[in-house]
Structure 1
Amino acid sequence: MSVVRAVRATLGLPRDTVARWIALTTVAAMLTSLALNGVVSLLGGVWARPPLTETGLMEKAAAVTRIIDSVPPAQRPGIASAASDKAFTSQWLPRHEDARMPPVDDPDFRSGGPLLRRLLDRPTAKIEAYEPTDWVPQLAESRYSLLIELRDQSWLLFSVPTRSWGLSELPRNLIILVLILSSTLLVALVATRHLATPLERFAKGARRFGVDFKAPPIAVEGPREIREAILAFNGMQAQIQHFLQDRTQMLAAISHDLRAPLTRMRLRGEFIEDPEQQSRLFRDVDEMQAMVNSALEFFRDDARLEQATAFDLAELLHTLVDDFKDAGIDVALDAPPRYVFVGRPIGIKRALVNLLDNAVKYGMEPGISLRALAGSVEIHVTDRGPGIAPEFQEKVFAPFFRIEGSRNKHTGGVGLGLPAARAIVLEHGGSLTLESPYGGGLEVKVVLPVSV
């Protein structure tokens, strides 16, 4: 290991990188495949014996045949008997009929005949081969047999004990291929899990920060590139958390500093003797107070710091409709009795209240519906008012933008309701769009993704 470390230090190679793991995965897969191929070859004589042409018996049979073919007939039986061993037995036969082979249509030894003829240096030598299945019905002497004709038309019989010579070349190659693929997949699975686990935790931490700004930093682990990405994300997360904390403190100070002079203006207005001027001043102060409160509420938005939790979204809609009914406003509702959703209930409620307030303020016959889809949930807020022209349907989401020129609190707010609602929906990973249905009015479509 010290040598490997010294080489790595000399070459300046990183210790743990994605590229290194890909290279190691490739090398490990190749070595595993070679090792399994070697094991298969070693065990081939036990459970996957190769064909007769791959066992070396052809060379032995050719050598014995050449020796017996070169001696007188009287010596051939003894030499054939002496050449027999555990692998095969050999027997010299004066005539072909003495072999008592089963009748077959084509006993030619196509797979090994050319090899034997080349070893015998006799291109026209007659060679016949028989398998145990050629004996019908199966007899006790069923065996592998090989007949080779000598130069004087006598025959040499080689017999192999009855056994299964195993699989043919195609099945054996398929088995080896399956083992190689299996080993490669196993090594790749181990390597990818090493890479995927920190990536999954990274993604989980990023999603958690999307719904919980107080989420702790992500544990730094994995290859170098992933660790650097996690460190960069943790730095960004810390900066955002610091920014939110500073913004909260700043807005609290601004809220105090702005309300104090407005309160003094109202107190001083009490001493104005002209009732008309006093009324105008009070209206301006109230409007300024409403604008300050709305702006501070939009920019502070403590609901963004709310942690996500499972709650009954359908019940939330029923509660909102009941609240409007208590205020003397009927809102049509089309929703199931129960639908569990994971999100920030305070934020969702604030967004829906803003949308319903607009539907009540600018339209007639307000309504809200909930529909569950595959992977998402849709909420539609509708009204029968004048609607919004298509050229303004995107501009109204800009803060402080209002279609009408005045900022009178009796004709509308300060232009922060729709931007706040869309911001909350976007923070949930959803979308908020405006549509002008046929027949007039306005339809606000909210799509929220459902966590699986």
Structure 2
Amino acid sequence: MSRLLPSTLAGRIILVLLVGLMAFHVGSLWLHQTGSDIFLGSTQQKVTSERVAAVARAIGMVPLDAREAVAQALSSPGFQVRWQPGAASGAVDPQDLAASGHLEAEGMVSLPDDSHLWYHADPLQAQPEHATLLSTTAMALGILVLGLLVVRLIARPLRELSNAADRIGRPGQTVTVPEEGPREVRQAAQAFNRMQARIDRLIADRTQALAAVSHDLRTPLARLRLRAGFLDDAEAQRQIDADLDEMDAMIGSTLAYLRGDEEQEEVRSADIAAMLQTLCGDAEDMGKTAAYEGPPQARLPCRAIALKRAFANIIDNAVKYGASARVTLSDLGRDLVVYVDDAGPGIPEEQLESVFQPFYRLEESRNRSTGGSGLGLAIARQAISNHGGSVALQNLAGGGLRASIRLPRRT
């Protein structure tokens, strides 16, 4: 039953109005028609009995040879009378007609001289109820139009509230919801604006605390790096420098993920094809295997720095854990699709989604000794999602792992 109902509040209110109006409309017409039939039936009986009695009195006052002519003269298209000599069985006394007020539409009436009248009265036809139908329809349409206006007034603040709720956590300046409409909607908008303000303060406080922690951590790291330079043991110095580099990279990755697009990078048109070719070239310069296939140019309005970081993390994972990266770009017009394939062992099916969680590590391949912080894919998905896109992983049938990135082309 719920599948038959509209999914929106406005649709359900309109459906209720339509069903109610249809029920009211049909019920009104039925009551009107029933009342009209009863009224016309009683009226026809009374009119027919009075006309038959009057015709019987008139014919009884004229000679026998003129009665049939008088009967035809008194007939009309809806009321026919015939005079016939001789008595008829079942005939009614004309003196009882007016008093009884009950007469069939066709019958016979006895006259005092043992002759009789045959009569036939056509049923009274109700006049077309165009005025009633038009007035009822106009009233129903007026109520429906008024209902639609009320629904729009109610639904508009709710849509704005829903859109504002959907913007929470996305890049861009937060927008307060207009506090207007019915009292309940205003109260909901006020509560939402207060909640949004608290979230903004929480995010700002968190970002400020992270910046302070980052600064405070990098200061002792710099001192440790300086002191390690005075060690006589070159191997120990190299290991300490490697640990310090890993700590510094972990701090930078954590801040990049938690900050998201807090820096408010400007959206501009960037060449995604050139971006991918540059990343593949950088990987090859570092002795890795990376190749690009696709069009020489594919422009996309985006935050280029954030998107380049996302592609860099995915390609870096491919060359680090899959030995190589084969990057394929397809320009579908409305969307850009990027595939990054590697030649590694792949990932267990049950962990294909888990690897996008912050700080998640695969026990065998993504451990601390490889230098990973567990945030590369989380940062990549965050940046791609902020562009309205999606990223997913799948194991290839012939071996290896594929990262599929879809980015919508927006103006």
TM-score, with normalisation over the residues of structure 1? 0.62
Does 1:324 pair with 2:279?
Answer: yes
**Offset, 1:442:** 0.6
The Cα shift of 1:319 comes to 2.7
Q: Deviations over 1:231-251 (max 9, x none)?
A: 232122111211121122112
Pairing 1:306–2:264 present: yes
Structure 2: how far apart are the matches of 1:222 and 1:336? Answer: 53
Whether the 8 Å contact between 1:212 and 1:305 is mirrored in structure 2 is no
Contact 1:430 1:448 in 2 (8 A): yes
- The answer as to 2:352 corresponding to 1:393 is yes
**2:316 aligned counterpart, secondary structure:** helix
Is the Cα contact below 8 Å between 1:432 and 1:447 reproduced in 2? yes
Residue 182 of structure 1: how far off its partner (Å): 2.9
The corresponding residue for 2:47 is: 61
1:122 aligns with 2:103: yes
Separation (CA, whole Å) in 2 of partners of 1:157 and 1:323: 103
Cα distance in 2, alignment partners of residues 61 and 339 from structure 1: 89
- C-alpha distance in structure 2 between counterparts of 1:323 and 1:297, whole Å: 22
Query: Residue 345 and residue 225 in structure 1: after superposition, are their counterparts in 2 closer, same or farther (change >3 A)?
Result: farther
On the 8 A contact 1:304/1:347 being kept in 2, the answer is no
Cα distance between partner residues in 1 of 2:408 and 2:143: 38
Matches within 5 A, 1:174-189: 178-179=137-138, 181-189=140-148
Q: How does 1:162-201 map to 2 (within 5 A)?
A: 167=128, 178-179=137-138, 181-201=140-160
Q: 2:246 maps to which residue? A: 287
Are 1:445 and 2:383 matched, yes or no? no
Which sits farther off after the overlay, 416-425 or 179-188? 179-188
| Partner-residue secondary structure (3-state), 2:339 | strand
Q: 2:327, 2:338 within 8 Å by CA — same for their partners in 1? A: no
CA–CA distance in structure 2, aligned partners of residues 124 and 276 of structure 1: 124
Structure 2: distance between partners of 1:174 and 1:305: 65
Describe the SS at the equivalent of 1:388.
coil
**1:250-298, Cα deviation, whole Å (9 max, x unpaired):** 1221121111111112222232233333333322222222222222222
From the superposition, tell whether residues 319 and 281 of structure 1 become closer, same or farther in structure 2 (CA, over 3 Å).
Answer: same
Cα deviation, residue 120, structure 1: 3.9
Q: Say what the alpha-carbon RMSD is for the aligned residues.
A: 5.0
Residue 425 of structure 1, CA deviation: 4.2
Contact 1:320–1:353 under 8 Å retained in 2: no
Map Cα deviations across residues 359-416 of structure 1 (whole Å, 9 max, x no partner).
2333324213347599x875433222232233443442333333337524xx342221
Q: Which runs of 5+ in 1 are unaligned?
A: 1-17, 42-49, 77-91, 105-115, 127-148
Sequence identity (%) = 31
- In structure 1, C-alpha distance between the alignment counterparts of 2:197 and 2:109, rounded to whole Å: 93
The gaps in structure 2 that reach 5 residues or longer are: 1-8, 63-67, 81-96, 285-289
Q: Which amino acid in the other structure matches residue 61 of structure 1?
A: V
Correspondence 1:367 to 2:327 = yes
Quick check: 2:271–2:298 contact (8 Å CA) kept in 1?
no
C-alpha separation between the residues in 2 aligned to 1:401 and 1:156? 101
Residue 86 of structure 2 is matched in structure 1 by none
The answer to whether residue 375 in structure 2 is matched with residue 416 in structure 1 is yes
How far apart are the structure 2 equivalents of 1:62 and 1:451? 81
Deviations 1:160-184 (A, max 9, x none): xxxx9753x7x88876775565344
1:246 maps to 2:196: no
Distance in 1 (alpha carbons) for counterparts of 2:328 and 2:225 = 40
Paired residue secondary structure (1:368): strand
The match for 1:94 is 70
Q: Quote the residue 2:232 is aligned against.
A: 273
The SS at the match of 2:368 is: coil
Task: Pick the aligned partner of 2:316 from 344, 357, 375.
Answer: 357
| Equivalent position amino acid for 2:54 in 1 | I
Instruction: Provide TM-score, normalisation by structure 2.
Output: 0.67
Q: Are the structure 2 counterparts of residues 331 and 172 from structure 1 closer, same or farther at C-alpha, using a change threshold of 3 Å?
A: farther
**Cα separation, 1, equivalents of 2:386 and 2:110:** 95
